A and B are shown apart, each in its own frame.
Chain A
């Protein structure tokens, strides 16, 4: 049973850095899967943030690229997101997810964490 669990602060001050970690069980971050982060502002739709491959190659949403850092820790079977210079617009539920890889370009978010609400406020 694949399970993902987000962890990190629920409240971040404006201009500071949002840091989240996704712990993975039932699947290995050193396998051929990709891993990603998606967010959802309250009452709104889904926005992909970034993804990382098992060998550490990162892919970013162009609108967030300048503020995002991703890393993968295969020894602890987890991956992390840093989003700097946050504003109220970054308030959202943040989901981590596994990407099922069926081919080099054939990737689908098949397992998701429950999500964690991060509020940006002073």
Chain B
């Protein structure tokens, strides 16, 4: 089973600042990692898949990087609507069992 850890648990930043979120996997997951954004009362929204590919309609200020066990989500300049919880997600090779990280909350400083 792949275990994902995310850091920090909470990130306090101001609009316009850069956010850097980390996700670490307990074993190599190759490039098979996704990032989601979730706002209160809403379903998660896919931001990034294959570690670095932006999903349809996701602004360019969101970028993902990494491979293997260490991954990063970067938001270059925080907009007011970006304050939310962010989850990373991956899966075992076979059978496809999916795992989510515990989340990083990006809050307004």
- List residues of A whose CB falls within 8 A of some B CB: 34, 36, 38, 45-48, 51, 59-62, 95, 100, 102, 105-110, 112-115
Contact = CB atoms under 8 A, between A and B. Distances in A.
Contacts of A61: 97-98
Helix, strand, loop or mixed for chain B's interface?
A: loop
A105 B100 contact: no
Given A48-B97, A110-B55, A62 B1 contact: yes
B93 interface: yes
Contacts of A115: 43
A9 B18 CA distance: 43
B32 A59 contact: no
A105 B29 CA distance: 11
A102 B74 CA distance: 24
A81 B98 CA distance: 17
A94 B2 CA distance: 22
A114 B43 CA distance: 5
Given A61-B98, A107-B96, 19 more contacts: A34-B96, A38-B100, A45-B100, A45-B102, A47-B100, A48-B98, A48-B99, A48-B100, A51-B98, A59-B95, A61-B97, A95-B44, A105-B91, A105-B93, A105-B94, A107-B98, A108-B49, A110-B49, A113-B43
A113 to B, nearest CB: 7
B92 to A, nearest CB: 9
Contacts of A113: 43
29 contacts: A34-B96, A38-B100, A45-B87, A45-B100, A45-B101, A46-B44, A46-B89, A46-B100, A46-B103, A48-B97, A48-B98, A51-B96, A60-B97, A61-B98, A62-B97, A95-B43, A95-B44, A105-B93, A106-B32, A107-B91, A107-B96, A107-B98, A109-B34, A109-B89, A109-B98, A110-B46, A112-B43, A114-B42, A115-B43
